[in-house]
């Protein structure tokens, strides 16, 4: 019973020149437990602001946000974060990064190390516990970041373009890993991405956001995430349905960008 409920979220920034920027306007949605939501949109549409508000790093200027029964006002362990560059603590080993949350809670060390082993195995890093994180490749660093987030058993996992900096092959593998973890743990996941393909592949639900003011432009319910659990993602990607949706969304975003350019030119 930990649904994420956002109602009438508004975020207004004051610019240094005295103007205001409407980063989010009247954003309302409900994300049920166990859903996988992908958020897509051109830059400046407020996706990262939305994520930061849900994570508790920023406070909305209007509206309310609840996870389950309680209101979100500050960062908390019930919402795990995965960042684009991993944001690992490079002075710690892989294991110490993964168990960071448990150490902060002062959890039982034996239990902690058991859990670390478990999670390293799930993300495919068994045996890397003592490796310093700066020696890892980008994909491995993201696996560590995933494990570090999941070991805290959060209700909601927030991912801010987690695969954006990876090469195509690693990216595909990581996408499968995300789906696998989603399936096995049944966590609610919200993933922000720039890649339309990734959003379609991973998102059970998909928000396409529009800028100025930031808002949810269109919502999709997609079958590809479920298909991806059993089928080869490459086959999914060439299915007519997938291609059609992809082209539709690309055109939509293209038009938004055009509109922004037009606006800028008239100003």
Partner 1 sequence: MIVGIIFIGLVAALIWSIFYGRKVIRTEKSDAVFGNPVRALGGWHWVVAGVCSILLFWFWFSWDAARAYFPIAGNELCQVAKLTRAANPIRSTFPMDDERLLLGTKLLDRDYRQIDHLQTQLASTNFSDADREMLQEIIDEMRTAMAAHADADELDSSVRMRMSAVAENIHGLAEALAQEGYPGPADPAMMAEALAQPGWGETSVELPPLPMTERGRKFDAASVTMQEISDQYLGVRNVGPALTARLDALEGRIAGFTIDASGDSADVAAREDLIKQIEKIFRRIDDGRIFPPDVTTDVEQALLVLDREQRRQQGGLRYINAIAMPGGEILAGNNACSEQGSGRWLPKPSDTLATFTRLANPNEGYKGFPLLWFKMKPISEMVAFIVPDWIADLVPGDYPRHGTDGQVQSNFKSKVYDIATGNFDSPSIPVPDGHIWDSIVRVLMGLFFGILLGVPLGLFMGLSRFAKGYFDPLVELYRPIPPLAWAPLILTIFGIQDDGKIFLLFMVAFAIMVISARTGATGTQLSKIHAAHSLGASNRQIIRQVILPNSLPEILTGIRISIGVCWGTLVAAEMLAGTTGIGFVENVARKQSDYEIIWMTIILMGLLGLLFDVMMRWVIHKTIPWRGKG
Say how far residue 31 (Cα) sits from the centre of its chain.
13
10 vs 131 by CB, closer to partner 1? 131
Provide the minimum distance between the beta carbon of 28 and partner 1 in the complex, in angstroms, as a whole number: 24
Binding site for partner 1 (CB under 8 A): 55-57, 75-77, 79-81, 83-85, 87, 89-92, 100-101, 104-105, 132-135, 145, 148-149, 152, 154, 158
Provide the minimum distance between the beta carbon of 136 and partner 1 in the complex, in angstroms, as a whole number: 10
In whole angstroms, what is the distance from residue 9 CA to residue 237 CA? 34
76 vs 233 by CB, closer to partner 1? 76
100 vs 220 by CB, closer to partner 1? 100
Distances (CA, A) of 160 to 51, 80, 85, 189: 7, 11, 9, 11
Contacts 24+ apart (CB under 8 A), 217-224: 217/41, 217/252, 217/256, 218/252, 219/29, 220/245, 220/249, 224/200
DSSP 8-state symbol, 72: P
Provide the minimum distance between the beta carbon of 241 and partner 1 in the complex, in angstroms, as a whole number: 36
Phi and psi at residue 224, to the nearest 5°: -70, -30
Phi and psi at residue 8, to the nearest 5°: 55, 45
- Secondary structure class of 65 (helix, strand, coil): strand
Provide the minimum distance between the beta carbon of 128 and partner 1 in the complex, in angstroms, as a whole number: 16
In whole angstroms, what is the distance from residue 109 CA to residue 165 CA? 34
83 vs 220 by CB, closer to partner 1? 83
- DSSP H or E stretch at residue 5: strand 4-14
149 vs 252 by CB, closer to partner 1? 149
Provide the minimum distance between the beta carbon of 90 and partner 1 in the complex, in angstroms, as a whole number: 4
Provide the minimum distance between the beta carbon of 50 and partner 1 in the complex, in angstroms, as a whole number: 15
37 vs 201 by CB, closer to partner 1? 37
């Amino acid at each position: 019973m930990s649904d994420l409920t956002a109602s009438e979220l508004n975020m207004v920034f004051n610019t240094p020149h005295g103007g205001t920027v409407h980063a989010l306007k009247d954003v309302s949605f409900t994300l049920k437990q166990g859903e996988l939501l992908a958020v897509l949109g051109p830059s400046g549409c407020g996706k990262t602001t939305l994520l930061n508000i849900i994570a508790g790093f920023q406070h909305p200027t209007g509206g309310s946000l609840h996870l389950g029964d309680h209101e979100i006002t500050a960062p908390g362990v019930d919402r795990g974060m995965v960042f684009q560059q991993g944001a690992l603590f490079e002075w710690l080993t892989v294991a110490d990064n993964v168990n960071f949350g448990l150490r902060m809670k002062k959890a039982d060390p034996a239990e902690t190390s058991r859990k670390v082993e478990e999670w390293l195995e799930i993300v495919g890093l068994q045996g890397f516990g003592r490796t310093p994180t700066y020696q890892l490749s980008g994909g491995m660093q993201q696996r560590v970041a995933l494990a570090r987030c999941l070991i805290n058993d959060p209700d909601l996992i927030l991912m801010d373009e987690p695969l954006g900096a990876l090469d195509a092959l690693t990216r595909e593998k990581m996408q499968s890993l995300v789906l696998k973890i989603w399936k096995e743990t049944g966590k609610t996941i919200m993933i922000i991405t720039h890649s339309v393909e990734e959003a379609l592949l991973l998102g059970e639900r998909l928000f396409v956001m529009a800028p100025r003011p930031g808002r949810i432009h269109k919502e999709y319910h997609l079958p590809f995430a479920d298909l991806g659990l059993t089928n080869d993602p490459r086959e999914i990607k060439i299915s007519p349905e997938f291609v059609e949706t992809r082209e539709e969304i690309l055109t939509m975003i293209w038009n938004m960008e055009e509109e922004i350019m037009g606006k800028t030119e008239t100003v």
